[in-house]
Each structure stands twice: as C-alpha cells, then as structure tokens.
Amino acid sequence: MIRLFTAIAIPPEIGEGLLARQHGIEGARWRPLEAFHITLRFVGDVAEDVAADLDEALAEIAAAPFDLTLAGAGHFGEGADIHAVWAGVDESAPLRQLQKGHERAARTAGLKPESRLYTPHVTLAYLKRPSVPEVGAWLQANNLLRAPAFRVDRFGLYSSWRTHEGSTYRLEREYPLEA
C-alpha cells in the first residue's frame, strides 16, 4: 500500500513569502517550504496496481499551462476543533478544470468519488486545540494575503509518509501541462 495525492508544487519564491506568515499561533505545527502545495486530489492508501492505473490515467490529462495567485487565508474546523490554517487561491477556471480531470482520473483508476467540496489552498500549519483568539488574530492579520502570480506548467503525483514530526512528501512522478 502507498499513500498518494496529486498536487501543484508552490515555487520557492512564493513559498518564502508564506514562511514569513508562520507565527502567532502557539503550538502550531508550521509546514516547511518543501511541503507547500495545492492538492488536486487526495487519493489515500492504495495498492500498487491501483497506483499504476492512476499514473496511467493522470498521464492522459490534457491541459494548457496557466497562472495562479495565492490570496486570502482561512482555516478548517471550528472553535477548539480548528485543525489547520491555510493560504487561499484566487478563483481559477483552469485550476477547476484540472482538478476535475484529476477526479476523472481517480475514478478511472477505480477510486471512489471525492465527497468533499474542493477548496484549493496551501496548508501552512496543522493545529491541535488552538487558542481560538490566536487563530482569529492570525486570520485577521493574514486575510489580505496576496502573492505574485506564478505559472503552473506541471503537476505531480506524491506519496505521503508519516513521521513523528509530521508527514513528509516525495514526488513520485511529474506530468507537464502543454498547450
């Protein structure tokens, strides 16, 4: 079994600006620069043959390169159950189309449909029973976040490995976007 997801990596020059926002919430597990990404489809634990089928289906996705902009900030969970803070992504029709292609690829590989609403974001920290006022102050301080646009010309299939310091990711395969 291998734990997988598909994503767009955040360029280091954009990620550096996100690192500067990683403070102000006690006990937050801030994510390192190399972990910054925009998930397109969480896959989860799958057998090697399913991973191979997914790889084949992902290789068939046809999409042109496009620009993305990170904007705003948010969180997942409510009250004491807030479990993550993130940087948002400006609305993008090409991103939505690419994500739908990943959903089709996952179904082609035999995976169940994703039931959660797609919210493109870059996770900046995972939280465990945070101070709600601290999270509120962080959100207020970062809600006007706006990073320079960056070009998306590829996406990747990543494996996720759990460690005692949190998950680490490894790029398994990269797929270029071509006009």
Enzyme catalytic residues: 37, 121
* Token pair for 44: 């989860």
Provide the 10 A C-beta neighbour count for residue 104: 14
Cα 120 to Cα 127: distance, rounded to the nearest angstrom:
19
DSSP 8-state class, residue 177: -
Measured in residues, the chain has a length of 179
